[in-house]
Amino acid sequence: MSSKSNPRIKLSKEKKEYILSEIQSYFFNERNEKIGNLAAGLLLDFIIEKIAPEFVNLGIYEAYHYIDERLEDVLSLQI
């Protein structure tokens, strides 16, 4: 697998195997293509390196705004 994977996103062996199986099932069911573990692993590495950080950042941004709104609610309780 690629050594470029994002070091901040770690998958357990079981989770990685499950995701690789899902990628292979997707290609077979949606594209009628059979891909091996290497191809599925390279695609997963690409997703982890290039796409996953965008979703992580989106989650952080949404969590920040949620907490910010709740803090404003708490400040409104001041006497």
The identity of residue 17, as a single letter, is E
| Of 57, 21, 71, the residue nearest 41 (C-alpha) | 21
**Three-state DSSP class for 4?**
coil
Domain definitions of the chain by residue range: 13-75
Instruction: For the chain, 79 residues long, give each residue's pLDDT as a single digit of tens.
Output: 444 555 678 899 999 999 999 999 999 999 999 999 999 999 999 999 999 999 999 999 999 999 988 888 777 877 7
- Beta carbons within 8 Å of 57's beta carbon, 6+ residues apart: none
The identity of residue 41, as a single letter, is G
